[in-house]
Structure 1
Amino acid sequence: MKKLPIVASVLLAALIIGGAIAFGGKSTSSNQMVQNVSMEGEKQIIEIDAKGGYSPKLTTAKAGVPTILRLKTNGTYDCSSAVSVPALGFQKTLEATGVTDIEVSSQLAQGTLEGVCAMGMYNFSVKFL
């Protein structure tokens, strides 16, 4: 007789957990489009946050337009503060909190531009279309 309440409790717990897994909302953050590209006058501005990696990791922007790659930090003390953009010859340790603008000429705003942290753990890409 004592086994019946235990079995019922286990089954109820399994149903609750199974329901939470089956009907629980999945995060859509990986599917959401991030609006990190804007125009200021004749220049295209691409904003990328650097903290615990780079966000967003992939950006699509217009090719052939003078561009500013704007790296923003806010209490960043990890390796994403030491960034390199090899195609631009850019390498710098960013301030822990601040904004760093990197000029990208219209001639270099072509194809895919990649950035990486000093340890190679984190990266970002800008696809110019």
Structure 2
Amino acid sequence: MKTTIISIFIVVILIGGTIFLTRGNSNLSNDINNVNIVDGKQVIEINAKGGYSPRITTAKAGIPTVIKMKTNGSFDCSSALVIPSLDYRNNLPLSGETLIDVPAQKAGTKLQGLCAMGMYNF
């Protein structure tokens, strides 16, 4: 009887662990519409808390762009933002929005933002 209960407990733990490890990561989704055109500028919204969401954004080339970084109780390293190709380095507020101007980019350009430790990126 005791070994049956232990066996059932182990099976439940294994199934739960498998579900947890194999569930989809919504941060990798490209289906999120986080790009809008406002007053002739492209605005990209990215949330910073426990990483960056969404991690992948497709934007139009040749349009001045603003990255709107949104934080809400962000105590982790995602609040220390670095965008090397823009020579941008800044600590985001604990909660709020930070606007980052990005000049018009050529088609195919990839901008990468990451936390100061390099653990999280977009």
State TM-score, norm by structure 2. Answer: 0.76
Q: Distance in 2 between matches of 1:57 and 1:120?
A: 14
Runs (5+) with no aligned partner, structure 2: none
Aligned residue runs from structure 1 range 1-129, under 5 A: 27=24, 29=26, 30-31=28-29, 33-107=31-105, 111-124=109-122
* Structure label with greater radius of gyration: 1
Query: Secondary structure of 1:45's partner?
Result: strand
Following TM superposition, by how much is the alpha carbon of 1:41 offset from its aligned partner in structure 2, in angstroms? Answer: 1.4
Contact map agreement 2:30 2:56 (CA 8 A) in 1: no
Question: 1:56–1:42: structure 2 CA closer, same or farther, 3 Å change rule?
Answer: same
Are the aligned partners of 2:29 and 2:56 in contact in 1 as well (CA < 8 Å)?
A: no
Q: Distance in 1 between matches of 2:94 and 2:102?
A: 23
CA contact (8 A) 1:44 1:67 kept: yes
Query: Residue by residue, what CA displacement relative to the aligned partner does 1:31-88 show, whole Å, maximum 9, x if unpaired?
Result: 5611100010100000000000000111000011100011000000000000000111
Give the alignment's Cα RMSD to 1 decimal: 2.6
Q: Take 2:64 and 2:57, find their aligned partners in 1: how far apart are those partners?
A: 16
Q: How many aligned residue pairs are there?
A: 107
Considering fraction of residues, name the structure with more strand: 1
Runs in 1 of length 4+ with deviation above 4 angstroms? 107-110
Distance 1:108 1:87, change over 3 A: farther
